[in-house]
Amino acid sequence: MLDCAIIGGGPAGLTAGLYTTRGGLANVTMFEKGMPGGQITGSSEIENYPGVTGEITGMDLMMPWPEQCQRFGLKHAMVEVMKVDHNDDGSFTIHKGDGTSEDALSVIIATGSTPKRAGFKGEDELFGKGVSTCATCDGFFYKGKEVAVIGGGDTALEEAVYLSNICSKVYIVHRRETFRAAPNTIKRVMDTENIELILNATPEEVYGDKMGVNGIKINTPEGLLDLQVPGVFTFVGMNVNNDVLKKEDGTFICDVNEAGEVIVNLRMRTSVPGLYAAGDIRIDAPKQVVAAAGDGAVAAVNVIPYVDEVKNSREK
Amino acid sequence: MAKYIESTSADFDATIAEGVSMVDFLAPWCGPCRMIAPVVEELAEDFDGKAKIVKVNTDEEQDIAVKYGVRSIPTIIFFKDGVQVDTMVGAASKDAFAAKINGLL
């Protein structure tokens, strides 16, 4: 029986692992299907992680975390978690992708979020064939070529600036007149010569052939615009990864809001005793590395007394 | 200890010509590629003698990437006797990759 099972190995899960083990829990496993680090490893530049200055990528930022977090005995199980069950005796069962399972006294769920699909025609068929959600991964396939960026938030604008250094031209397609990104990021977009804004516009259809995308048709106030670009990058928000908390009947083992985000209090406690949530998966998450890490620490410092109490009562 | 094969355009066709191969198209700066790196290493051990686990650095080997229409990394292509039979885009679990390989053996 694990003292604590941490599901997910991004900033929230790693920090939860650091604080639970350093705080005295002996038997803690972090379940992460691959190398820990999380979605931030796909970001081209981090400007807002306190204490870290200079040009640094998400991958650079996360590089030392796993080693530090495992220094106090955190174990990493490189396996995908399919489902978490809440048992009658208050413990949890972690069902793994290899068909085996493991029991735990407490669970910190830190599964994060996944980029949303924008929902236009052809997007699913051409995903990975010119439609992408990762500029640092796929930008270099479009060196010297024109690309379109769909979205108007912080991520869309930051990645558009990154792409403008590689590509000959970047079109930003945004459904509104104004952007809701940080002023500093908006200014950088405006100051970049090879970025062109297409505002009040929504993608209609991305088209291509066997080798990939050839262009995208966009609804604009002036009519249908056909952009003949080989690359389309979408940054239109995130969906939380809450499947592991779903029961067979489709309901969740703990309370979630209408967006499927896990409802927590200021201790990151969910509606189920012993189940905590941290990072992007929780309600009102600012979706920032520093906040996710903070959540992981909060969840961990509250898990420790919970586990001690459960152990004491079980011994009696 | 079994290891994956790092392939270049000089030996790629010969590498995948016979049997079952799983080819991981990656680049060193790609976060999701790095995430599956330890998974690919374990697969090379697990399928030692049964299937070839191959890595192609698309940064250096753009010709192979272009030939197979790779425009997103990581892209994982499964070959049987030199013929492309399946493709996965993005990071996935070891079990998901192993299931694809087992399906071809």
CATH of the domain at A159: 3.50.50.60
pTM: 0.92
The mean pLDDT value for A244-249 works out to 96
Q: Chain A within 8 Å of B41 (Cβ-Cβ)?
A: no
Residues of A catalogued as catalytic: 134, 137-138
| Contacts (Cβ under 8 Å, ≥6 apart) of A316 | none
A70 falls within a domain: yes
Is B72 within 8 Å of A57 when comparing Cβ atoms? no
Could you report the per-residue pLDDT of A281-308, keeping only the tens digit for each? Answer: 999 999 999 999 999 999 999 999 999 9
Q: Does residue A70 surpass a pLDDT of 90? A: no
> Which CA distances in Å does A186 have to A134, A158, A232?
20, 9, 20
Rg of chain A in Å (alpha carbons): 22
Residues A90 and A9 in one domain: yes
Q: Which chain A residue lies closest to B74 (C-alpha atoms)? A: A137
CATH of the domain at B12: 3.40.30.10
DSSP secondary-structure letter at A42?
A: G
Residues A170 and A85 in one domain: no
Residues A243 and A230 in one domain: no
The mean pLDDT value for A32-45 works out to 93
Could you report the per-residue pLDDT of B54-91, keeping only the tens digit for each? Answer: 999 999 999 999 999 999 999 999 999 999 999 999 99
Residues A230 and A244 in one domain: no
Q: Are A227 and A206 spatial neighbours (Cβ–Cβ below 8 Å)?
A: no
Residues A26 and A99 in one domain: yes
Residues A108 and A183 in one domain: no
Q: Does residue A315 surpass a pLDDT of 90? A: no
- Rounded Cα distance between A83 and A92, Å, is 10
pLDDT at B1: 61
Q: Does residue A4 surpass a pLDDT of 70? A: yes
For residue A83, what is the enclosing H or E element? Answer: strand A81-86
Between helices A183-190 and A154-164, what is the axis angle to 10°? Answer: 30
Residue A57 CA to its chain's centroid (Å): 16
Q: Which one-letter amino acid corresponds to residue A29?
A: T
- Rounded Cα distance between B96 and B105, Å, is 15
pLDDT at A55: 82
pLDDT at B32: 92
The mean pLDDT value for A9-33 works out to 97
Is B30 within 8 Å of A80 when comparing Cβ atoms? no
Total count of domains within chain A: 2
Is A33 within 8 Å of B71 when comparing Cβ atoms? no
- CA angle, A291 then A296 then A301, to 5°: 125
Residues A17 and A89 in one domain: yes
Q: How far does the CA of residue A273 sit from the closest CA of chain B (Å)?
A: 29
B41 lies in which domain range? 5-104
Chain B residues closer than 8 Å to A98 by CB: 95
- Tokens for A176, please give them: 């509104």
SS3 A112: coil
Q: How far does the CA of residue B96 sit from the closest CA of chain A (Å)?
A: 9
- Residues across chain B: 105
Cis bond upstream, residue A273 (ω within 30) = no
Which of A196, A93, A211 lies closest to B70, judged by CA? A211
A181 pLDDT band (50/70/90 cuts)? very high
Interface predicted TM-score (ipTM) of this complex, two decimals: 0.90
Which position among B5, B27, B30, B89 bears the catalytic label?
B30
Q: How far does the CA of residue B103 sit from the closest CA of chain A (Å)?
A: 16
- Tokens for B85, please give them: 């039979």
Exposure of B47 by Cβ count < 10 A (0-12 exposed, 13-18 middle, 19+ buried)? buried
Q: Are A118 and A203 spatial neighbours (Cβ–Cβ below 8 Å)?
A: yes
Residues A150 and A95 in one domain: no
Residues A8 and A109 in one domain: yes
Is B31 within 8 Å of A41 when comparing Cβ atoms? yes
Percent of chain A with pLDDT over 70: 100
- Rounded Cα distance between A278 and A294, Å, is 8
Total count of domains within chain B: 1
Q: Which one-letter amino acid corresponds to residue A190?
A: M
For residue A226, what is the enclosing H or E element? Answer: strand A223-227
- Tokens for A239, please give them: 């969906």
B47 pLDDT band (50/70/90 cuts)? very high
Residues A206 and A268 in one domain: no
A193 lies in which domain range? 131-234
Percent of chain A with pLDDT over 90: 95
Residues A179 and A203 in one domain: yes
Whole-number mean pLDDT of chain A?
96
Which of A95, A113, A96, A83 lies closest to A244, judged by CA? A83
pLDDT at B2: 75
The mean pLDDT value for A228-238 works out to 97
Could you report the per-residue pLDDT of A99-138, keeping only the tens digit for each? Answer: 999 999 999 999 999 999 999 999 999 999 999 999 999 9
